[in-house]
Structure 1
Amino acid sequence: MAADPSAFATLPRDKPIIVFDGVCVLCTANARFVLKNDREGRFRLAAMQDDAGAAIMVHAGLDPDDPTSFIILDPESEGGRIWMNSDAVLHMWSQLGLPWRAAVIFRIVPRFLRDPVYKLIARNRYKWFGKREECWVPSPEQAARIL
Structure 2
Amino acid sequence: MNAGKLPPYIGASDKVILFDGVCKLCNAWSNFIIKHDRQRIFKLCSVQSEEGKKILLHFGLPSNSYETMLYVEGNQSFQKSDAFFQVMAKLGYPWKTVCIFRVIPKPIRDWMYDRIALNRYSLFGEYDYCTLPSPDHEARFLDAKQ
**What are the superposed Cα offsets for residues 14-65 of structure 1, whole Å, 9 maximum, x if unpaired?**
3200000000000010001001100000000100000111112122222122
Does structure 1 residue 81 correspond to structure 2 residue 70?
Answer: no
Report the residue type matching 1:53 in the other structure: G
**What are the superposed Cα offsets for residues 43-97 of structure 1, whole Å, 9 maximum, x if unpaired?**
001000001111121222221221111111102xxxx210111100011100001
Which residue of 2 is the match for residue 65 of structure 1? 64
Which residue of 1 is the match for residue 85 of structure 2? 90
Change (3 A) 1:120 1:49: same
Which residue of 1 is the match for residue 95 of structure 2? 100
Whether contact under 8 Å (2:85, 2:102) holds in the other structure is yes
TM-score by length of 2: 0.88
Which residue of 2 is the match for residue 129 of structure 1? 124
Runs of 4 or more, structure 1, over 4 Å off, are none
Whether contact under 8 Å (1:11, 1:52) holds in the other structure is no
Q: Name the stretch that deviates more: 41-50 or 135-144.
A: 135-144
Whether contact under 8 Å (2:19, 2:70) holds in the other structure is yes
TM-score by length of 1: 0.88
Report the residue type matching 1:36 in the other structure: K
Match of 2:115 among 93, 105, 120: 120
Does structure 1 residue 34 correspond to structure 2 residue 29?
Answer: no
Count of residue correspondences: 137
Q: Tell me the percent identity.
A: 36
Q: Distance in 2 between matches of 1:33 and 1:85?
A: 17
Q: What is the RMSD of the two structures over their aligned residues, measured on CA atoms? A: 1.5
Gaps of 5+ in 1: 1-7
Q: Which secondary structure does the structure 2 equivalent of 1:9 belong to? A: coil
Which residue of 2 is the match for residue 109 of structure 1? 104
Q: Which secondary structure does the structure 2 equivalent of 1:89 belong to? A: helix
Gaps of 5+ in 2: 1-6
